[in-house]
Structure 1
Amino acid sequence: MSAGLPDPKELEELLLGGELRYTRVDAVRLSGVTREFSGRLWLAFGYPSMGDDVIAYTEGDVAALNRIRRLMDDGVLDEDGVIRLVRAFGQTMTRLAEWQVNLLGSMLRDDPNEPPGAEALESIMELADKHIGEFEPLVVHAWRRQLAAAGTRAMAAAATRDGETGAALRTTVGFADMVSFTQMSRELDEMELARVVERFEETASDIVASCGGRLVKTLGDEVLFSAATPKVGGEIALTIAAAVKDETEVPDVRVGVAHGPVLPLMGDVFGTTVNLAARLTSLARPGSVVIDAELADELEKDPDYEITRIVRRPVRGLGIIQPYVLRRAAPTP
């Protein structure tokens, strides 16, 4: 270990909120789950494999295993359902934890291009020791808020299905893609590029939320969003395109939006409609929004928009499509 750096075990126990005191055999015995199931859970959470005799579990780990066992005993979830739920938590929290550590590290060191040294790590430990009890409820609060929003969207979607069968829902989905990102990545250093990506994601995320849509995922130079209605989808697309034009730090974006059946799965969305939205993005000019025929049909009578038919194009995997450019209607004199 480098001189002056905190003890990794001390840091781990501080952040875990308890002493590492149990082996895997101990945790299995105390929780009542099987050895095989505990191994599946550990991997689903995203933790590295541990030998049976390695002391790697805290009281909190045993309590979590007990809660999971009770959920199965009460018939709330079966083993496969638990594994899927735990994997969702694990993958989400992995990104959140890395994001938070990187953010704290950059805030606590003089040169953001340098890795955190002993002083920065000591500051992170001190911050965690004093304030982790205040951060933890914020995570639960955000989760409950997002859970409520997702539940409300699911109820609204169910109310509009009118007896339709199948898992796919009719949804508006769109991609916003930064222009010339590859060239920009060659011209900027890593920290400058990261700042551009962060600013783009912040702008898009705020707009999607304020319009009432959902940010499905971010892909560096691209974001994928969804909206329950065509109107909301159109508003998100046009607002992102306009806002990024005014951003000095972020290059223009191309936006492609489509409306149709979408399969929601594990927080993501899949299907031909999603693929079509991605293809439409490649047809858009910088700063513009291109939509598919179905979304154009949904919005054509809305006085807030101007829809222009453009040349039919062949797109990979989907054949010949008819794209349209979406703009805001000119103000009435």
Structure 2
Amino acid sequence: MDRSGRPGADDMRRLILGPSPSYTRRQVAEAAGVPQDLAARVWRALGFATLADDVVAFTDADLAALNRIRDLLDEGLLDERTVIRMARALGRTTARLAQWQAEIMIETLLDPQGRPSDDDLARAMETVTRLLPDFEQTLLHVWRSQLAAAASRLTALADAGDEPVPTRPDLAVGFADLVSFTRVSRELDELALADLIESFESRASDVIAAHDGRLVKTLGDEVLFTAADPPTAAAIALDLVDELRPRGEGPDVRIGLAYGPVLPVMGDVFGTTVNLAARLTSMARPGTIVTDDGMAEGLAGAAGTDLLKLRRRPARGLGVVQPYVLRRADPARRRTQREEKE
């Protein structure tokens, strides 16, 4: 606390991290028996700034983390390159998670429009003290569950192909894009815009998860997702259009779907299939879904879907493509078509 007894940033840091730092970066590396350059690379990969040699900024917990890394290297379980890649994955993901959770808690516990009182800050710290152990345990449980799901997906892809490790697995890729987002964003104040983005991302995330798809990333007015096969991707897209249909005011959504080989890198996906899904999104009208011929072939005979073949058209950087509009099947229309054939 400062001289007035008001809780401050240092108090919150101690509350979350525990005892004050007691090592410089050189001391913590020497104590762990880790080369200075490797320790520096690990901290940078985790997303932490490079500090001067004489700055005391590392704790016993940091020393324990470096000890674990040294043991992994000594036992040959991981090499240095893998350690750095894993550290970077951990750092990037947890940095966003921590920022997101902190913003939610500040919005919940403090008035963002005014300066918090001493009592407000004290109450916030009490709440963090109470919630921190539960958050920590929940984080570990969710991480294990997500790791199990990711490992199961990759194992299934490996079993289905000729290669022992799927370097370019076939996946359905989808982009869901808010229409006229730039215009709408200019008409909203900051809080309303934040609410729009959070609502879009949360509703899209729920639909994708419900069908066992994977939300790869969000880009404000756009979400990128993947699914194991065309029927699953179609179910996600159709439900997204229904769920994200404007309720009074607000932008509509359009979706592009493509099926084919993708390159998974650092949790993201790349390749021609991803680019094609993006191009198809730009072809879609508000409230519609446009697919490529790979999706159309994978949906042939699938229950609950109809495909309308459009004229071939050029897609920037990809040549001429054959798009289709994906819709829910209309039982009445299909019944009429059967009767006409008879």
Task: Please give the TM-score of this superposition, normalised by the length of structure 2.
Answer: 0.92
The verdict on how the C-alpha distance between 1:249 and 1:201 changes in structure 2, with shifts beyond 3 A counting, is farther
The verdict on how the C-alpha distance between 1:124 and 1:293 changes in structure 2, with shifts beyond 3 A counting, is same
- 1:173-213 Cα distance to aligned partner (Å, 9 max, x none): 00000011101110001110010110011111000000010
Q: How does 1:169-180 map to 2 (within 5 A)?
A: 169-180=169-180
Q: How does 1:51-62 map to 2 (within 5 A)?
A: 51-62=52-63
- CA shift for structure 1 position 102: 0.6
Whether contact under 8 Å (1:255, 1:288) holds in the other structure is yes
Matching residue's letter, 1:76:
L
- 1:265-295 Cα distance to aligned partner (Å, 9 max, x none): 1100000000000010011111110000111
Q: Tell me which residue corresponds to 2:86.
A: 85
- CA shift for structure 1 position 123: 3.2
Matching residue's letter, 1:238:
L
Gaps of 5+ in 2: 336-342
The verdict on how the C-alpha distance between 1:92 and 1:115 changes in structure 2, with shifts beyond 3 A counting, is farther
| Deviating more after overlay: 50-59 vs 157-166 | 157-166
The verdict on how the C-alpha distance between 1:59 and 1:301 changes in structure 2, with shifts beyond 3 A counting, is same
The verdict on how the C-alpha distance between 1:152 and 1:108 changes in structure 2, with shifts beyond 3 A counting, is same
Q: Tell me which residue corresponds to 2:24.
A: 23
Q: Tell me which residue corresponds to 2:15.
A: 14
Larger radius of gyration: 2
Q: Tell me which residue corresponds to 1:281.
A: 281
Q: How does 1:1-333 map to 2 (within 5 A)?
A: 6-110=7-111, 112-113=112-113, 119-163=119-163, 167-245=167-245, 247-248=247-248, 250-332=250-332
- CA shift for structure 1 position 253: 0.4
The alignment covers a number of residue pairs equal to 332
Matching residue's letter, 2:47:
G
CA distance in 1, matches of 2:109, 2:3: 19
CA distance in 1, matches of 2:315, 2:51: 48
CA distance in 2, matches of 1:259, 1:116: 51
Gaps of 5+ in 1: none
CA distance in 1, matches of 2:248, 2:137: 36
- CA shift for structure 1 position 310: 0.8
The verdict on how the C-alpha distance between 1:312 and 1:5 changes in structure 2, with shifts beyond 3 A counting, is farther
CA distance in 1, matches of 2:67, 2:84: 15
CA distance in 2, matches of 1:99, 1:166: 33
CA distance in 2, matches of 1:120, 1:105: 11
- 1:21-40 Cα distance to aligned partner (Å, 9 max, x none): 21112211221101111111
Whether contact under 8 Å (1:113, 1:191) holds in the other structure is no
- 1:71-119 Cα distance to aligned partner (Å, 9 max, x none): 1111111111100000000000110111011101111233x45576655
CA distance in 2, matches of 1:229, 1:244: 22
Task: Please give the TM-score of this superposition, normalised by the length of structure 1.
Answer: 0.94
CA distance in 1, matches of 2:54, 2:304: 66
